[in-house]
Amino acid sequence: MSRNKEKLEILKRALERERKAHQQTSEVLGEKLQEIRQLESKLAKASLKLEERAKSEEPWFHQSFQEILDPYIITDLDSNVQRMNLAAMAFFGYEGAPPPLRLFDLVHPEDLAYTRQSVQKLFELGAMRNYTARVRIASGAYRYIRVNGSVVYDAAGKPEVVHGIMRDITSEKELEQLIWRQRQQLDIIVDHSPLGIVLSEGAQILRCNVAFAKMLGYPQQEVIKKTISEISHPADYGQTKELYEAAKSDGSPTLTLEKRYLRQDGTSIWAKTHVSLIRDKHNEVKFDVAFIEDITQEKEMQRQISLYENRIATLVRNLRSGILFEDRTRHILYTNEAFKELFGIPVDIGQLIGMDCVAAIEASKVLFVDEDGFVQRVEEIVASQREYLGDELELKDGRTFRRDYTPVISEGEFQGHLWTYTDITTLKQHRQNLIKENEKYQRTISNMNIGLLEVDLEDRIEWANEQFCHLSGYNEDELLGKVALEVITVEKPAVFADKVALRKQGTSDSYEIRARHKNGQWRQWLISGAPRYNERGEVIGSIGMHLDVTEQRNHEKQLKALIREAERSNRELEEYAHVVSHDLKSPLRRIHTLVEWLKEGHREQMESEAVGYIDKIQSSLEGMDELIDKVLQYAGINGSQQNIEAFPLRQVVTNVYEKMDLPAGVTVEIADPMPELKAQRIHFQQLYQNLIGNAIAHNPSKNLQIRIGCQDKGKAFECFVSDNGVGIARDRQDKIFSIFHSSSNHYGHTGIGLSIVKKIVELYGGTITVESEEGAGSTFRFSLPKTLAV
């Protein structure tokens, strides 16, 4: 309820205000109406008077009309001039009576539209103020005029004539345009100036140009809102203000300073700022105009230069070379510690500055081997004022200095002499060592029996050693600079080209190729090729090591042929032995059978002596049969991979002597342990058969002890078979292993047994020896490689 009441109150008050306003308006209107009526009646009277006067007192009217100083014109409603005063006539350039003039015809065509509007308004409003246009005068020229005019109404309130006062404002207008143009020009200058231009009043920026806004990275409008302190770097603002206040109070017209401005992006620029303080007539500063030049880059350059100078100074101070800088008159401007040390000067650098070097040279010449030469050379160099680099000076104490001289010329003017001394003693020694090493290396290479060849990426020969020339038959002149394959003919150039491609990928390898010697002979070359690199690790070609392996290859071929030949004859021999043995055995068996029959069927008819002979024949036949078996055995021993099996050696030995039907009094003892082997079992049966058989065969006595064993000797097994029999005479020991050399004439012994043993041992890669003394028994030792072990 109270809200409604409140609303009502508001409305009541508003209504009250409106009522009062209405009341006041009515009062004003009433007053105005009154005034209008009075004016109307006055006007009517005046108008009547005027009309009468105009009619009766034409000359008077004319005269007062003429008294107006400005041009004054009366026209009809279509702007035809009815009257004009002298000033108007003068303005239009007429003397005496002007011709009929219609003002509309005189208006400049460009101002016509505006004129029509103005006239329209003139009739609507009854008056016209500050109508400004160009009109043509008698001379044909146009003049700017400003007209204030009004319509004169007749007694009936109808427009009758128009009258107006005119002012010639041509020169005013021209001036205005001139100022306008100048202002435009100024704006252009300001806006196109590379310098930032700022107009400020106190700290407030009033105007700035594009260049300044750009410097700060703000839109121009933004800058205008700022104060000088807002855009000044805080570190510089204090100083800026101080300088400014000082200039302000001491009456200086300008002020120049370097300061930083803050950019919108938070960075800052260095700028040279030139401020003009604009003062009013009381010498109070009203405005400031500042010209701002961005010198950020210059500042940075200055900073770089000073950094650079510092660095150079540090560098020189710490240089290992002695530096001596003399002025034109050869007095020391600068030197460093290293120089002092080189020349053994005991005083401080400070004391050296300014010293006369002409005298100093004389003092220090004693250091050098060639004292006078040193002095003379310095004088020579100084006189020439040209650069001399790399003079080497030998000192008496064995050191060597290198001296460089540079005349310092700056901006076309000679500034002084710069000497640099460097101790190159160790360098020189090093250099000499290097040269020696290099010579040695070169000698080695050229004397090597490997032919060396360096080629570039196009396979062009860059270098070849003597041996390569020898190898190929071409001399250096024929090789250098040529493409290798164009000089030297090889059997398969394609292979060679593949290798060249490999080198480019950085791959090394070896290969053999057939190449033709200059004399036309084909030779076999073993080539090892490797890529060559430069110091940046790029492949720049390849180096080839060539070895003529023709002879070796020929030898290898011959050897292979020989081996093949030997194998073939071996095989033939085996076959031959086999055939012969078989062919011998069948007639032998027939003889044996026939002799048996003779002995059994005719024993009674034969004398006992004959029977004895027959027995001997039979015994001989048995010996011969055994001999043939052994020869077959011997021939049959070969390294065939067939029948390889694993077996315990001890078992083989046991089987052998158990089957042998040992004569009474013979004992065999096996020493533990015996290894397990992987081999042809038959070979080891034959081996022990023959060794045991051999021991028994050569033993006439009844008490024979045979010992058999095998020892692990690390790399190999050493096996032995020993007996306490008759032994072997020393001079016969080296013959016993040869085929058909028996130590006895015993019929039952063929003399082939030990040959079989030796052949078997050697087949397995072992060796066999015998230790024996006549009458004191024999020991056969043979080795077997561990590879045979299971």
Partner 1 sequence: MQQLDIPTRMMKMKGFIYRYFLEMVEERFGLTLVDTLVGKADLPSDGVYTHLGNYPYEEMLQLLDALSAETELPKESLLHAFGTYLFGRLNATHPEVIGLYESPVDLLKGLNDHIHFHVQNLYPEAALPKMEVREMGPGHLQVLYESSRGLYRLAHGLMEGVFSHFNIFVGIQFRLLEADGTIVQFELEYEPE
Query: At closest approach, how far in Å is the CB of 317 from partner 1?
Result: 60
Q: Which stretch binds partner 1 (CB under 8 A): 122-130, 322-330, 580-588, 746-754?
A: 122-130
Can residue 76 be called a binding residue for partner 1 (CB under 8 A)? no
Place of tokens 């009468």: 52
Of 615, 632, 623, 783, the C-alpha closest to 715 is: 783
Q: In this structure, what is the dihedral angle of CA atoms 233, 237, 239, 240, given to the nearest 10 degrees?
A: 100
Q: Which is nearer to partner 1, 25 or 449 (CB)?
A: 25
Structure tokens at 230: 């807002």
Query: At closest approach, how far in Å is the CB of 51 from partner 1?
Result: 25
Could you give the residue ranges of the DSSP H alpha helices within 319-424?
337-343, 349-352, 357-364, 371-384
Residues 72 and 66: their CA atoms lie apart, in Å, by 8
Q: Which is nearer to partner 1, 180 or 308 (CB)?
A: 180
Q: Which is nearer to partner 1, 120 or 667 (CB)?
A: 120
Separation in Å, CA 400 to CA 321, 345, 427: 13, 17, 9
Neighbouring CB atoms inside 10 A of 355's CB total 15
Query: At closest approach, how far in Å is the CB of 183 from partner 1?
Result: 11
Q: Which is nearer to partner 1, 10 or 495 (CB)?
A: 10
Query: At closest approach, how far in Å is the CB of 153 from partner 1?
Result: 16
Place of tokens 């030990």: 754
Using omega within 30 degrees of 0 as the cis cutoff, is the peptide bond preceding 673 cis? yes
What SS3 class is residue 642?
Answer: coil
Query: At closest approach, how far in Å is the CB of 66 from partner 1?
Result: 28
Q: Which is nearer to partner 1, 201 or 538 (CB)?
A: 201
For residue 368, the 8-state DSSP code is B
Q: Which is nearer to partner 1, 23 or 256 (CB)?
A: 23
Contact residue for partner 1 among 14, 54, 559, 644 (CB under 8 A): 14
Q: What single string gives the DSSP state of each residue in 329-346? A: TSBEEEE-HHHHHHHT--
* Distance separating the N- and C-terminal Cα atoms of the chain: 125
Q: Which is nearer to partner 1, 121 or 248 (CB)?
A: 121
Query: At closest approach, how far in Å is the CB of 166 from partner 1?
Result: 16
Can residue 298 be called a binding residue for partner 1 (CB under 8 A)? no
Residues 406 and 389: their CA atoms lie apart, in Å, by 8
Query: At closest approach, how far in Å is the CB of 7 from partner 1?
Result: 8
Q: Which is nearer to partner 1, 8 or 305 (CB)?
A: 8
Residues 366 and 395: their CA atoms lie apart, in Å, by 9
Q: Which of residues 210-229 bind partner 1 (CB under 8 A)?
A: 221, 224
Q: Which is nearer to partner 1, 25 or 638 (CB)?
A: 25
For residue 267, the 8-state DSSP code is -
Query: At closest approach, how far in Å is the CB of 260 from partner 1?
Result: 27
Q: Which is nearer to partner 1, 124 or 250 (CB)?
A: 124
Q: Which is nearer to partner 1, 125 or 246 (CB)?
A: 125
Separation in Å, CA 729 to CA 430, 615, 695, 736, 777: 73, 32, 15, 10, 10
Contact residue for partner 1 among 204, 229, 638, 738 (CB under 8 A): 204
Q: Which stretch binds partner 1 (CB under 8 A): 15-23, 92-100, 465-473, 523-531?
A: 15-23
- Please provide residue 752's backbone torsions phi and psi, each rounded to the nearest 5 degrees: -105, -15
Site string for partner 1, 101-120 (x = CB under 8 A): ----------------x--x
Can residue 125 be called a binding residue for partner 1 (CB under 8 A)? yes
Query: At closest approach, how far in Å is the CB of 36 from partner 1?
Result: 12
Of 687, 696, 636, the C-alpha closest to 667 is: 696
Contact residue for partner 1 among 83, 136, 163, 207 (CB under 8 A): 207
Residues in the interface with partner 1 (CB under 8 A) total 27
Can residue 129 be called a binding residue for partner 1 (CB under 8 A)? yes
Q: Which stretch binds partner 1 (CB under 8 A): 8-16, 85-93, 421-429, 456-464?
A: 8-16
Q: Which is nearer to partner 1, 87 or 119 (CB)?
A: 119
Contact residue for partner 1 among 10, 54, 155, 562 (CB under 8 A): 10
Contact residue for partner 1 among 2, 4, 56, 130 (CB under 8 A): 130
Neighbouring CB atoms inside 10 A of 449's CB total 10
Query: At closest approach, how far in Å is the CB of 123 from partner 1?
Result: 12
Q: Residue 194 is which amino acid?
A: P
Query: At closest approach, how far in Å is the CB of 127 from partner 1?
Result: 7
Query: At closest approach, how far in Å is the CB of 100 from partner 1?
Result: 30
Residues 618 and 294: their CA atoms lie apart, in Å, by 138
Beta carbons of 165 and 70 less than 8 angstroms apart: yes
Structure tokens at 181: 């143009």
Q: Which is nearer to partner 1, 28 or 559 (CB)?
A: 28
Q: Which of residues 19-38 bind partner 1 (CB under 8 A)?
A: 20-22, 24-25, 28-29
Structure tokens at 126: 């009854």
Q: Which stretch binds partner 1 (CB under 8 A): 18-26, 283-291, 314-322, 333-341?
A: 18-26
DSSP tally for the chain: helices H, then strands E: 25, 27
Q: Which is nearer to partner 1, 20 or 328 (CB)?
A: 20
Structure tokens at 166: 């005119």
HEC secondary structure over 278-299: EECCCCCEEEEEEEEEECHHHH
- Give CA 672 to chain center in angstroms: 75
Class of residue 32 by CB neighbours under 10 A (exposed 0-12, middle 13-18, buried 19+)? exposed
Query: At closest approach, how far in Å is the CB of 60 from partner 1?
Result: 30
Q: Which stretch binds partner 1 (CB under 8 A): 16-24, 535-543, 727-735, 763-771?
A: 16-24
Q: Which is nearer to partner 1, 178 or 409 (CB)?
A: 178
What SS3 class is residue 742?
Answer: coil
Q: Which of residues 172-201 bind partner 1 (CB under 8 A)?
A: 201
Can residue 384 be called a binding residue for partner 1 (CB under 8 A)? no
Of 560, 686, 711, the C-alpha closest to 630 is: 686
User: What residues line the site for partner 1 (CB under 8 A)?
Assistant: 7, 10-11, 13-14, 17, 20-22, 24-25, 28-29, 117, 120-121, 124-125, 127, 129-130, 201, 204, 206-207, 221, 224
